[in-house]
Structure 1
């Protein structure tokens, strides 16, 4: 698959997304500051990012997320009538206070999307009192992180996505976190790992992928982990919602390229058909 020039007339997921997320931050980013040098965006301050003002700003944006611009080529699926919840966990590392996001890799035993990276979570059951309850229950079932360890910030806007169930992201903080405290359910989860925020905010980590249905999406590559698809989309949304304008790096604003929908080359005629219609092959 080759990369083509940007087509400004073609509706693209990330251009729509960045216009929405950047509208409120651009004016604040241009306001004057007393500091002669802006803060290093690769070094988020844990006290500020986990404080009440950060929580308020983040959840306001998460509750006002733009609708997913559905590609016209994707037909509806019965799975879209289902709903699920995922946990976006801000983990404060034990000993260093470094802030990371918690991810899982789906088990090899699962029939769909095996080995793909995701946030903890799953389908909402009738017994779940809320989407928060669903996300906490699924997290405990998948990786053994008990709900009392999670300080819940709240629910984001429900996202209606093509070909899958709608998703409600639930945001929470896990203080004094160590990856060693997790107990994985091997039937559902292959591994669990945390990625430092600063590792997601450098140019070499921010990339994109192009789907044949006609839209591009954000991808984050950190070490051997490739965070893409819905999880990459949610990660991109969350970073824009969490980070204040002064700490949003340029690579999250402009580094993702936009390309026109991928087109398959014309199908070559079958050998027999070609033989019958090619004048040079006639006797």
Structure 2
């Protein structure tokens, strides 16, 4: 049986191996690069001076899939989630990953995700090791969302400071739960002539119940599949929408 020190050392070794492996991960080409997410009017096109790339960037977002080792003896990988403020105009009260829209000063998608995580939950970017950029997703508001995987090696150093205008709660869940069929329900929906599955995961912690669904669930299923190198125990039925190019 391992001692506490041995378990901690094993977890550190595992994290180092995970970091090395995820840094080699190559996401497939995004099907949404260069698409006309909001067809520009003639006036808008003229105002933009033909800078189509900048018009596209305004419809881009990034979220942080922040992983850390749990405090339990098994040292399971856990992911940080938030419950959005009930006063927000969109997705109020829903569970989400830290993140948001790209801004002009962001160097890349990782910078967007880290900036938003600091603004929303007070996560110091220096505590996070960015290891991978995952496959791009399209939100129902036609935002191209880029998941950025980061490793938080010292969870004790993270002292959450919530932006109450945006976040009501912060909590964490086991990443592997998004590959299991336990506490999961689903429904079929149709969009743009294609049928796809919406997944719902129920999670309870300290008498608090959370529902993780929609885009957040889709991203976490994919992230868990990449991290654990296996598909989920249930049919995923994802779809990529064919959108018009510029």
Q: TM-score, normalised by structure 1?
A: 0.61
Match of 1:234 in 2: 219
More strand by share: 2
Is 2:187 the counterpart of 1:206?
A: no
Work out the CA distance in 1 between the residues paired with 2:189 and 2:23.
29
Deviation at 1:154, TM superposition (A): 3.0
Mark the runs of 5 or more structure 1 residues left unpaired by the alignment: 1-44, 69-75, 259-283
More helix by share: 1
Match of 1:92 in 2: 69
| Structure 1 residue matching 2:117: 3-state secondary structure | helix
Q: Aligned match of 2:15 in 50, 69, 80?
A: 50
Q: Aligned match of 2:233 in 238, 243, 253?
A: 253
Mark the runs of 5 or more structure 2 residues left unpaired by the alignment: 1-9, 40-54, 239-246
Is 2:220 the counterpart of 1:220?
A: no
Structure of greater Rg: 1
Give the structure, 1 or 2, with the largest relative contact order (CA under 8 Å, sep 6 or more). Answer: 1
Is 2:28 the counterpart of 1:64?
A: yes
CA displacement 1:206-256 (0-9 Å, x = unmatched): 3323335342133322222211111011011111111034xx6xxx23366
Work out the CA distance in 2 between the residues paired with 1:110 and 1:184.
15
**Aligned partners of 1:54 and 1:242 also within 8 Å:** no
How many residue pairs match? The answer is 202
**Aligned partners of 1:94 and 1:176 also within 8 Å:** no
Q: Aligned match of 2:93 in 96, 107, 115?
A: 115
1:101-180 superposed matches below 5 A:
101-178=79-156
**Aligned partners of 1:67 and 1:160 also within 8 Å:** no
Work out the CA distance in 2 between the residues paired with 1:197 and 1:159.
19
Deviation at 1:143, TM superposition (A): 0.2
Q: TM-score, normalised by structure 2?
A: 0.69
Match of 2:159 in 1: 181
Is 2:175 the counterpart of 1:197?
A: yes
Root-mean-square deviation over aligned CA pairs: 3.2
Work out the CA distance in 1 between the residues paired with 2:24 and 2:215.
19
**Aligned partners of 2:19 and 2:131 also within 8 Å:** no
